[in-house]
Structure 1
Amino acid sequence: MGILEDKSNARLFYKYLSKVYDQVNRFNWSEEMRTEALSWLEFGDDPDVLDVGCGTGFGTEGLLDHADEVHGLDQSVHQMEKAFEKFGKRGRVNFYRGDAERLPFRDDTFDVVWSSGSIEYWPNPVEGLSELRRVAKPGGQVLVVGPDYPHNRVLQRIADAIMLFYDEDEADQMFDAAGYESFEHHIQRATPRSPRAITTVARVSEE
């Protein structure tokens, strides 16, 4: 387990990173990448949407282009304070402080469940993915963005020490173990020199 997969370490990390997160994030997860990922989802009319690990609200902002209201959850109060500055505490975004592995929502609640830049900090990613599936409605979609495993051996050792990085084969294993039957992976990149992101779009079974 990487050092930032410990929840207390991750909260401390984001206490300081939250101050510059939006400036740093654009080199790894750009507006163009977000727009492309959103295009893979079907929102329909008046969708119920959840953003797990909403952070400062970068993903939330894109989701608001497709939904009148978004529910945003994060474990870092410092990250959420930045989101409050953008959206207010009460408005089109309903905020919750909570854990991806223990979501405070009923089964079959959301049409779309989105999580970008969060899974890499989950100590038990299969449990988290199972929770995302649990709160999604039958026939709904779950989209998860995480860091693709580097090919360079030196970078692999560094990645393993910090947090979860995974390739398509490992993503297959995690989504299978979490009970998803239909999913596909996409590799995204902000620039040729940026780290790659692996974006998985899953459909929740209607059975």
Structure 2
Amino acid sequence: MGVLEDKARARLFYKYLSRVYDRVNPFIWNEEMRDEALEWFGIESGDRVLDVGCGTGFATEGLLEYTDDVWGLDQSAHQLERAFSKFGKRGPVQFYRGDAERLPFADDTFDAYWSSGSIEYWPDPVAALREARRVTKPGGPVLVVGPDYPKTTLFGALADAIMLFYDENEADRMFAEAGFEAFEHRIQQRAPGTPRAITTIARVPEAGPAEGDGSALGESS
């Protein structure tokens, strides 16, 4: 487990990063990449969407261009304070402080689930993905953006020591174990030589859950 996959360390990390997050983030995950992912997401006006790991609200802003029913959740009080400064505590977004692995919502609450730049801090990604499936209505999209595994051994070892980095094979395993049957992975990158993001678009099964039976096959592109 990487250093920042510990929840307490991650909260401390974001206490300081939140001050400069909106200036740093575009070098890794910019508006063009976000907007491309939003097109793949395929939500419509009126859809109720949960933004997990919403942080300061960068993805939330993009989601609001598609629907006015957006809910944001983050474990960092400091990140949420930044979000409140943009949207207000009683503005267009309902914000919650909470844990991706134990979402405070009933089954089938949302039409769609979005999480960008959060999975790398989850100690148990499969548990969090099961929660994503649980709170999203059958047939609804689940989109997760995380850091693609570095291609060199040196940077790979460094990445493993810090947080979760994963490739398409590992993404296949996690989503299949979480009970997803249909999903695909797409690689995004701001520019050659910059960090790569792996974006997975999944669908909540229409029928009963397939809890970790190993039968799900991911599609990669």
TM (normalized to structure 2)? 0.93
2: distance between equivalents of 1:62 and 1:110? 17
Amino acid at match of 1:27: F
The more displaced of 12-21 and 38-47 is: 38-47
* Aligned alpha-carbon RMSD (Å): 0.6
Q: CA deviation at 1:42?
A: 2.2
More displaced 10-residue stretch of structure 1: 104-113 or 38-47: 38-47
* One-letter amino acid of the structure 1 residue matched with residue 54 of structure 2: C
Give the drift of 1:142: 0.2
Match of 2:30 in 1: 30
Q: Distance in 2 between matches of 1:80 and 1:90?
A: 13
Q: Which moved more, 1:41-50 or 1:164-173?
A: 41-50
Whether the 8 Å contact between 2:45 and 2:68 is mirrored in structure 1 is: no
Residues 117-175 of structure 1: CA deviation (Å, up to 9, x unaligned): 00000000000010001000011000000000001111001000000000000000000
1:179 partner letter: G
State the AA in 1 paired with 2:49.
V
Query: Is 1:41 matched with 2:41?
Result: yes
**How far is 1:177 from its partner?**
0.3
- Residues 127 and 178 in structure 2, CA contact (< 8 A), matched pair in contact too: yes
How far apart, CA to CA, are the structure 1 residues paired with 2:3 and 2:178? Answer: 24
Give the distance between the partners of 2:45 and 2:146, measured in 1 at CA: 28
1:88 is displaced (CA, Å) by: 0.5
Q: Which runs of 5+ in 1 are unaligned?
A: none
Amino acid at match of 1:53: G
Which residue in 1 is equivalent to 2:216? none
- Paired position in structure 2 for 1:88: 88
- 1:65-113 Cα shifts (integer Å, max 9, x gaps): 0111210000000001110111001111000000000000010111110
What are the residue-to-residue correspondences of 1:13-28 with 2, within 5 Å? 13-28=13-28
In structure 1, what is the Cα distance between the partners aligned to 2:155 and 2:89?
A: 39
**Hey, what does 2:193 align to over in structure 1?**
193
For 2:139, what is the secondary structure of its paired residue?
strand
Match of residue 73 from structure 1: 73
Q: Secondary structure at the match of 2:85?
A: helix
Three-state SS of the structure 1 residue aligned to 2:145 is strand
Amino acid at match of 1:122: W
CA contact (8 A) 2:44 2:67 kept: no
Match for residue 120 of structure 1? Answer: 120
Q: Hey, what does 1:176 align to over in structure 2?
A: 176
Q: Which portions of structure 1, spanning 4 or more consecutive aligned residues, are displaced by more than 2 angstroms?
A: none
Tell me which amino acid in the other structure corresponds to 2:183. Answer: F
Q: Are 2:45 and 2:66, in contact at CA under 8 Å, matched by a contact in 1? A: no
Give the C-alpha shift of residue 206 in structure 1.
1.1
Structure-2 residue corresponding to 1:137: 137
User: Which one-letter code corresponds to 2:34 in the other structure?
Assistant: R
What letter corresponds to residue 43 of structure 1 in structure 2? I
Instruction: For residue 59 of structure 1, report the CA deviation from its aligned partner.
Output: 0.6
Alpha-carbon distance in 2 for matches of 1:21, 1:190: 17
